[in-house]
Structures are given as structure tokens and as C-alpha cells.
Chains A and B, each alone.
Chain A
Amino acid sequence: MWRDAALVAERDLRVELRSRVAINQVAPFALLVLVLFAFALDPDTGVLASATAGLYWLVVLFSALLAVSRSTSIDEVDGIRDALRLSGLAPAGVFLGKVAAVAAQLLLLEVVLVVAVAVLYDPELGGFPLMIATMLAATVAVASTGVLYGAVVSGVRVRDTLLPVLLLPVLAPVLIGATKAFETAFGAEGLHGWGWCGLVSFFAVVYLVAGSLAYGALLEG
């Protein structure tokens, strides 16, 4: 299963390296949304700095929709879905491989976004161990949930409009937890940042397991 996962992850990342969708489209979209937040919220009254954590994770979620949609669309052309079914690869391995690929792209994006918010929003950055742990946990949570729900809407004509409706409500706990953990890292008191990080990690584990178990049925269906 792990060998299959590595194979699929390598394939997905190779496709991304050649097509550069994350670099050319998803990253600029994320940066654009960061800028739009500044237009919507007054940048001179400290609102952006105090809301940095929540805005950051909102941008990550919106960007994840694009990344997941892209990851799903790779398998919808040229009979690749049938090829995956017939290839003998373990479905759980295919799932974990796609999660790894999406997570890698999201992690890279998140690092870029941290630099961007530090420049654009001027928050009091700190608590780097908590920040890094939260980024890892939330990335896995978002990627595993996204790949699972991406498989649910794969092949459906209205996939692009259905995926946000299905995925965003499910990711609400990740948004809340990651935001609270980041706020704690930035110096807010009494928010139990590591506890929230633990909740996000638990969510990630639940969806890694659920996706590994359900992906085979979705691939067949």
C-alpha cells in the first residue's frame, strides 16, 4: 500500500511540475484573495492584523478547493480512472498517494502565504513550533478530506460547484481549530492552542482512515 501511495504521489507531483497549475494559478489566486481581504477590511485600523489567523486559513481553504479539484480532474481524462481500477494498485494506497501530493502542494502554498501575511498584514508572528505543528495537521486534514470528497464528486458534471458545498462545511472544525491555534501562537491568551492543534490532528486521522476505507468503493462506483 505504501509503495502504491508513493507511486501515485510521484505521478501527481510530476503532473503538477509539468503543468504548474499550483504555481501559475492557485498561488496567485491565494495572494489575490489576501489582497482582496485588505480591500474589504480597513487595513489601517488593525483589523487585518487581529484577524490574520482566520483570514490566512480561509485563504488556505479556498486554495485547497482549487488544488483538490485539480487533483480530481487529473484522473477524469483518458480513462485514467478505469486504469487505476484495473491497475491492481491498492485503493487505500491511491488515496494516500493523492493526499500526499495535495498536502505537499498545500504546504508549499502555506509557507508562501505566511510570508505574504507577514508582509501585508503585519501581525505579531511567534510560537513557531505551534504554527508548524498546526500547519502540518491542518494540511493533512484538508488534503485527506478534500481527496475523499473530490472522489465523491468525481465524474459529475457539476463537480466544481458541488465540491465547495460538500467540503467547506465539513472543514469548519479545521478552520476553527487552526485559527485558534494560530491565534495562540501569535500571542493570544487562554485559547489552548495545542488543544486545538490536537483537535485538528484528530480530524486528520479520522479522515485519513475514512478515506483509506472508502476510496476503493468510490473508485469502483
Chain B
Amino acid sequence: MSDPTDSIDPFDGASVPAHTGSALTRVLGLSALAALVVWALYGLVWSPPDREMGDLVRLLYVHVPVAILFYAGAGIATAASLLWLRGRTPGWDALAVAGAELGVVFGALTLLTGSIWGKPTWNTFWTWDARLTSTALLEVLLIGYLAVRRVDPSPAGGSVRASILGLLLFPNVIIVHFSVDWWRSLHQPATVTRLDPTIEGDMLVALMVGMLAGALVFAWLLVHRFRVAWLEQQVERHDLDAAVAARRAEGGLSPSTSTSTSEAQPA
């Protein structure tokens, strides 16, 4: 007897992709590699030590870009969750999980580099100021979001629970940030968000190159992770359709995956 799932093809006759690479990712990857090399040169060799921080400032060329990309990842997860809730397009769900996972990674890097920089600067690995505390809490919120995604029994294509959690990420962080800011603050004020930044010359270039390199690495990882999530959705949808077809075959119905109610009567 033929397997009723033989006719179900998750990729509709197209060849199964062997990897998630493409011309776009090759361009992104090579650009990222080049930018990383230039970043390392500027950060470690070409930029001078800071008048006050000395060589410690070189860690900020890593810390600031990864911190910005951490918030970018969380922002992508939030925005994609909202868009998925509005249109239920699976692609937005894949983007949300990709953004959240990258957010967790870059968040961990942010906290790590910040702590390493903090010890010689503030004589402590950790202070309870607004920016650090809200960063740590956002990291925990993202981990919680990914935990819900792992255990949510919803079929492939998105999760209402996770999307609502994703939607609440940024409002939570804003409220936490202002609460803790009001509570106490030791963190230095923003340097590059003002029109006349307090760092300049080769140090500013090192920071800008760091932002560019970090953004390229982030984009490269995001595209790959999005494609992996998309492929996972296709496989899960195929498995679900196969299970439905098998159950229909048991009932004597045709293995159609249509959800129409006007079906052939069982034998």
C-alpha cells in the first residue's frame, strides 16, 4: 500500500536547499570579515589610548556596538511579533525568533564586555544603575521569550503566546529603564548619540567601524537564522500534514490536506 503522505512535498517540487547561503549572505559575510579586520586594526592599533581611560577605551569599541545590536535584536523580535499578530504570516514569526536569539547572544556579550570594562573603571564588575539593570532584565525577558517558544505546543507557523510576549518586550524594558533610572544611576551619559560626540578622531572612527562591522555580522547571522527558522517551519508543517493525511487514510478518506468540509464520505 502506498504511503498516503507520498504526495505531500513541503517544498512543492523544488529541490531541498542544502544550506542557507546565497549571494546575499556571501556578500554580507565577506563584507563583515573585511570590516572585522579593519575594526581590529583601528581598535587595537590605529586609535590612541584615551586621556582618562587609557587602553580600557578599546573595550568600548566592542561594548557599544554589541549593546546597540542587542537592542536591535529585541526590537526586531518586538516588531516582528506585532506584524505576525496582525497578518499571521509565518515569515514574521521566523524573523521574531531570529531577532530574539541574536538579541540573547549580543546581550550576553554586552553584559560580559561591560563587566570586564567596569572592574578596572568602577572597581566592581556590576553596579545597579539604570542601563545595566534594564539590560540584564531585557536579557532575562528574551530568554523567557525563547523558553516559551520551545515549550509552546502550537503547530508550525507561529505562536500567539510568544508573539504577545514579544510584543511586551520593549514596553517592559522602557518601564524598567525609567524605574531603575529614577532609582539610581552611575552609568556614563551617551557619547555618540549627541551631535557633537565627546570621542573624536581615530577613536570615533574605531567606534563607527565597530558599529558597521557589528551590523554586518548581525545582518549575516540574522539572514541565516531566519532561513533556518523558515525551513524548520516547512518541515514541521510537512510533518503535521503527514500526520493529518495518515489519520484521514485510517478513516478511509483521501489524503488531501485541504481543510474544506465538502470531502468524500468514508468507505
A173 with B161, Cβ < 8 A, contacts A155-B153, A165-B140, A166-B148 known = no
A84 to B159 alpha-carbon distance, docked (Å): 20
Scoring B137, B148, B161, B178 by chain A CB atoms within 10 A of each residue's CB, the highest score goes to: B161
Q: How many residues of A contact B (CB 8 A)?
A: 25
| A152 near B183: Cβ-Cβ < 8 Å | no
A165 with B144, Cβ < 8 A, contacts A156-B151, A172-B137, A220-B160 known = yes
Interface residues of B in 99-154 (CB under 8 A from A): 133, 137, 140-141, 143-144, 147-148, 151-154
**A119 close to chain B: CB less than 8 A:** no
| B160 near A218: Cβ-Cβ < 8 Å | yes
Q: What size tier do the contact residues of chain B reach?
A: 20 to 34
> Main SS of the interface on chain A?
helix
A152 to B166 alpha-carbon distance, docked (Å): 11
| A217 near B85: Cβ-Cβ < 8 Å | yes
A221 with B159, Cβ < 8 A, contacts A152-B165, A156-B152, A165-B147 known = yes
A217 to B82 alpha-carbon distance, docked (Å): 13
Q: Which residue of B lies closest to A202 (CB)?
A: B175
Q: Which residue of B lies closest to A154 (CB)?
A: B161
A92 to chain B, nearest CB (A): 14
| B164 near A218: Cβ-Cβ < 8 Å | yes
**B171 close to chain A: CB less than 8 A:** yes
Interface residues of B in 177-195 (CB under 8 A from A): 178-180, 182-183
B177 to chain A, nearest CB (A): 9
Can you name 15 extra interface pairs (CB under 8 A) apart from A217-B160, A217-B164?
Answer: A156-B148, A156-B153, A165-B143, A165-B147, A166-B141, A166-B148, A169-B140, A169-B141, A172-B176, A173-B176, A173-B180, A180-B183, A210-B168, A217-B85, A218-B160
16 residue pairs bridging A and B, Cβ less than 8 Å apart:
A152-B164, A156-B148, A165-B140, A166-B144, A169-B140, A172-B133, A173-B175, A173-B179, A173-B180, A199-B179, A199-B182, A203-B175, A214-B164, A217-B164, A220-B160, A221-B160
Contact residues of B with A, CB < 8 Å?
85, 133, 137, 140-141, 143-144, 147-148, 151-154, 159-161, 164-165, 167-168, 171-172, 175-176, 178-180, 182-183
Contact residues of A with B, CB < 8 Å?
152-153, 155-158, 162, 165-166, 169-170, 172-173, 176-177, 180, 199, 203, 206, 210, 214, 217-218, 220-221
